[in-house]
Amino acid sequence: MVRDPVCLMELEPTQAAAMLDHGGRKYYFCSSGCRDRFARHPERFLDKAPGVAMAVGVMGSASDDEPEAVRKAAYALGRAIGERGYVLITGACPGLPYECAKGARAAGGLSVGISPGLSLDEHVHKYLSPSDAYDVLIYTGSGLMGREVTNIRSSDIVVVVGGRSGTLGEFAIAYDEGKLIGVLEGSGGIADHLPALEQTLAKDTGARVIYDADPRRLVERLAETYRTAHYRRPSCFCDEVIRGGG
């Protein structure tokens, strides 16, 4: 449950009448009236109920030989995420996710890396991955493939940039779990093949895929879609109630 910061009513997030993100955090409301009061004067309500950080996961090629234009686009994507105050989640790998993480840090955003390794030493020396663009590194010990589910489930929105078979697997997980997905058009690799591939996925998971070649506009469109509709779409496992757990 969450609490409406205006009237303090407790709410189930997926049943809230409205949602806004402010300062990179999600706030849920019992009515459009409470939402509008918050939007007019958010400073009056920020200390009434805590917001939950908005997390955007970026999945893409770990190759260091991507074209300069694509690297710059990934960096710009990270900046756009950071400037909105969102938390960036990546697989803490080199390549395009690393460029994105550098962009988010440069914009003052929080960058979280989900490492395949057991420790910083393994992260750097076994997986040859960077550590300097992250505020937090989470060591999963799950290997390159095992950490993918953690990446996806920790993200409110997933963005695909370039990529190869690993990124395709991350897209498939996000699609199957009904995520809001952005694809940076023109970034090469798997990203450029997803429009045709999506047409073959005769499966209604609740996922929505948005394509755009402009990094900043892509983030804006994803934020608007999440705010107006997709926040109501839970993970496909949310209907399963586990009783008696601690």
pLDDT tens digits for range 155-196: 999 999 999 999 999 999 999 999 999 999 999 999 999 999
DSSP class of 13:
G
Angle in degrees, 0-180, between the axes of helices 68-83 and 96-106, rounded to the nearest 10:
40
For 48, residues 6+ apart whose C-beta sits below 8 A from its C-beta are: 3, 5, 6, 8
Domain assignments of the chain as residue spans, ordered by start:
2-52, 54-231
pLDDT of the residue at 234: 66
pLDDT of the residue at 59: 97
**Residue 142 in tokens:** 């799950």
Nearest Cα neighbor of 151 from 181, 113, 182 is: 113
Residue pLDDT, tens place only, 64-98: 899 999 999 999 999 999 999 999 999 999 999 99
Give pTM, 2 decimals: 0.90
Q: In CATH, what is the architecture of 54-231?
A: 3-Layer(aba) Sandwich (3.40)
